[in-house]
Amino acid sequence: MANKPISAPRIAAAYIRVSTEEQADQSPESQLIEIRKYADRNGYIIPDEFIFMDEGISGKRSENRPQFQKMIGTAKEKPAPFDTILLWKFSRFARNQEESIVYKALLRKQCGVNVTSVSEPLPGGPFASLIERIIEWFDEFYSIRLSQEVKRTMTVKAGRGEFQCSPSFGYRAKIEAGQKTTLEIVQEEASLVREIYSRFLAGEGFFGIAKWLNAQGVTTHRGNAFENRSVEYIICNPVYIGKLRWTPTGRCHRDFENPDTIVAEANHDPIIDIDTWNAAQDRVAHIKAAWGYKSRPTYELKDWLSGVIRCSECGSTLIFQKPHFFKCNNYMRGRCSSSQNVRVDLLHEAVLDRLEQDRTSTLPLSYTVTRTDSSGGGDLARLETSLSDLERRQARLLDAYLGGVMELGAYGEMKNNLEAGITDTRCRIEELKAQLSDNTAGEALRESISKALETLRSADSSLEEKNNAIRGIADRMTFNKAQATLDITYRVIF
């Protein structure tokens, strides 16, 4: 009697994904155990190089899963090195039904690779694909509901000032009973944070501070070199005054004034005192008010008047030309009939003379009022931001009580405190608005001109300091060579 031929074992790949460390029943080890059991029962071999694992990664977006992408790329090889991809559940493959359909179709039709759930067997016949789609739909629905519940819980925690994100530079997570409870100061980093604020308030810019940090060999918590935006984020982060900021709608793309953002008192120790913080926010607001959208950074400028003086004919900026001239940018491009050609030293002298005249003049000056944004610049802007934050917290407090998150007694106490804070803040806003009269603006303007002149005339002032000084007081400066005039519209920042 002839022996029955032994069929060659089939090759399979295993894909394993777990979103969080808390999913003990879905741990990578437990998933792989179940997948190997299925492979043994069904004649599959899973080589180690075909075990793909994404840990701590959501299944919503495939591009965020490197091992998933590596698996798909491997399956596209000709011929495909494995026959099927084994999963613990279909939800491990994707929680987005659209992506799941696209990738499964690609694998099955173009690569000849099947996708199999070892714990969710599908029946044979025409109903298999329908049941698979139903499972995918439930997985996506579960993901959406879970996301909503997590976001609701995190919003409540954020309102209480509870720590729930990666520690900022200067802090690390304090672990108690295996849980991240709060932030604790890392003294070496905290010293650098204080130095960053000190340098910034002394007049140094974001770029200069980043360059200094990189020269010291300091990196961010992600191991990256510091950039302008890294320093700006530290300067504008309320974590350093004992608060936590969180935006429940997701990434706010550095929009620190996002109305959905929650800023709440936390229980960690501050690194920066409130006066230093407020002074830093004032300077940030002044810089943003003085520098227009897409302005070139100071370290790329050729002169302290670069980007400031404009042509009276077309409104374009006068640009520095070697060896020592300013010319209309549009004229250089053939778009303006007036070159406005003027020597640098003569233009410097004209600007300084005009500033001196306006500083001592008793006549009204032409100016615009720039209200600094709510990142903290100016007392009025800061108070208005605080009022908005208090009102949002008041609305969320009611939602938390109605949702059964807090008891009536705690709700009543917090409600009274918030109402008192709102009333007090509104009174302070009205008092400050009453103080901002035209006379006050004129006095503030002449004081700002005096300070700017000190910087511009000092031989010790850097190009960056001089450029920031002139931008801080001039909203618009227009030069007309034919009439030998220099018109300045000043900026009063409140």
Q: Based on the domain organization, do 124 and 192 belong to the same domain?
A: no
With residue 320 as reference, give the H or E element that holds it.
Answer: strand 318-321
Q: Based on the domain organization, do 48 and 87 belong to the same domain?
A: yes
> Residue 489: what pLDDT?
87
Q: Based on the domain organization, do 217 and 131 belong to the same domain?
A: no
> Residue 276: what pLDDT?
93
Q: Which of 157-171, 257-271, 414-428 has the highest mean pLDDT?
A: 414-428
> Residue 13: what pLDDT?
94
> Residue 451: what pLDDT?
92
As a whole number, mean pLDDT of residues 375-387 equals 62
pLDDT tens readout for residues 187-227: 999 999 999 999 999 888 888 899 999 999 999 988 899 98
Least confident of 108-117, 240-249, 437-446: 437-446
255: CATH:
3.90.1750.20
As a whole number, mean pLDDT of residues 274-299 equals 73
> Residue 58: what pLDDT?
61
Domain's final residue, options 223, 238, 272: 272
Given a cut of 70, whether residue 2 has pLDDT beyond it is: no
> Residue 193: what pLDDT?
95
Q: Based on the domain organization, do 37 and 175 belong to the same domain?
A: no
Q: Based on the domain organization, do 483 and 345 belong to the same domain?
A: yes
User: How many CA atoms are closer than 13 Å to the CA of 145, on its beta-carbon side?
Assistant: 6
pLDDT tens readout for residues 91-138: 778 766 667 778 888 888 888 998 888 888 776 666 666 667 666 666
pLDDT tens readout for residues 332-363: 888 899 999 999 999 999 999 999 999 988 87
Mean of per-residue pLDDT scores for the chain: 79
Domain's final residue, options 272, 305, 329: 272
Residues in the chain: 494
Tokens 């003086």 label which residue?
Answer: 309
Q: Based on the domain organization, do 463 and 358 belong to the same domain?
A: yes
Cα gap 207→186, rounded to integer Å:
24
Given a cut of 70, whether residue 445 has pLDDT beyond it is: yes
As a whole number, mean pLDDT of residues 239-257 equals 68
136: CATH:
3.40.50.1390
**Sign of the CA dihedral 52, 54, 59, 64?**
negative
The two three-digit tokens of residue 238, written as one number: 């309320």
Given a cut of 90, whether residue 64 has pLDDT beyond it is: no
Given a cut of 50, whether residue 6 has pLDDT beyond it is: no
Tokens 């001109």 label which residue?
Answer: 449
As a whole number, mean pLDDT of residues 258-281 equals 81
Q: Is residue 268 in a domain?
A: yes
Between 175 and 40, where is the model more confident? 40
Q: Based on the domain organization, do 97 and 67 belong to the same domain?
A: yes
As a whole number, mean pLDDT of residues 354-381 equals 68
Q: Based on the domain organization, do 261 and 116 belong to the same domain?
A: no
Given a cut of 70, whether residue 3 has pLDDT beyond it is: no
Nearest to residue 367, comparing CAs of 491, 493, 494? 491
> Residue 8: what pLDDT?
62
Segments forming the whole domain that contains residue 490: 294-494
Nearest to residue 432, comparing CAs of 391, 382, 388, 392? 382
Q: Is residue 216 in a domain?
A: yes
Q: Based on the domain organization, do 139 and 190 belong to the same domain?
A: no
Q: How confident is the model at residue 313 (pLDDT cuts 50, 70, 90)?
A: very high
The two three-digit tokens of residue 130, written as one number: 């329908």
Given a cut of 60, whether residue 151 has pLDDT beyond it is: no
Q: Is residue 285 in a domain?
A: no
> Residue 373: what pLDDT?
43
Given a cut of 80, whether residue 261 has pLDDT beyond it is: no
What pairing do the DSSP bridges indicate for beta strands 474-480 and 485-493? antiparallel
- The alpha-helical segments, DSSP class H, found in 185-291 are 187-201, 206-215, 228-235, 274-290
Q: Is residue 280 in a domain?
A: no
Q: Based on the domain organization, do 482 and 375 belong to the same domain?
A: yes
Domain's final residue, options 89, 116, 146: 146
Given a cut of 60, whether residue 149 has pLDDT beyond it is: no
Given a cut of 50, whether residue 228 has pLDDT beyond it is: yes
**Sign of the CA dihedral 451, 455, 460, 465?**
positive
Cα gap 232→254, rounded to integer Å:
10
> Residue 104: what pLDDT?
82
Cα gap 346→484, rounded to integer Å:
11
User: How many CA atoms are closer than 13 Å to the CA of 460, on its beta-carbon side?
Assistant: 2
Cα gap 293→255, rounded to integer Å:
15
> Residue 15: what pLDDT?
93
Query: Which 8-state DSSP code applies to residue 272?
Result: S
Q: Based on the domain organization, do 471 and 390 belong to the same domain?
A: yes
> Residue 429: what pLDDT?
78
Q: Is residue 130 in a domain?
A: yes
Q: Is residue 315 in a domain?
A: yes
Q: Based on the domain organization, do 248 and 305 belong to the same domain?
A: no
> Residue 349: what pLDDT?
94
> Residue 350: what pLDDT?
93
Q: Is residue 141 in a domain?
A: yes
Given a cut of 50, whether residue 37 has pLDDT beyond it is: yes
Given a cut of 80, whether residue 319 has pLDDT beyond it is: yes
> Residue 1: what pLDDT?
44
The number of folded domains in the chain is 3
Q: Is residue 240 in a domain?
A: yes
b (16+ CB within 10 A) / e for 432-451: beeebeeeebbeebbebbee
Cβ neighbours of residue 171 under 8 Å, at least 6 residues apart? 183, 184, 185, 186, 189, 239, 268
Nearest to residue 60, comparing CAs of 31, 120, 19? 19
Given a cut of 70, whether residue 402 has pLDDT beyond it is: no
Longest dimension (CA), the chain: 120
Between 158 and 104, where is the model more confident? 104
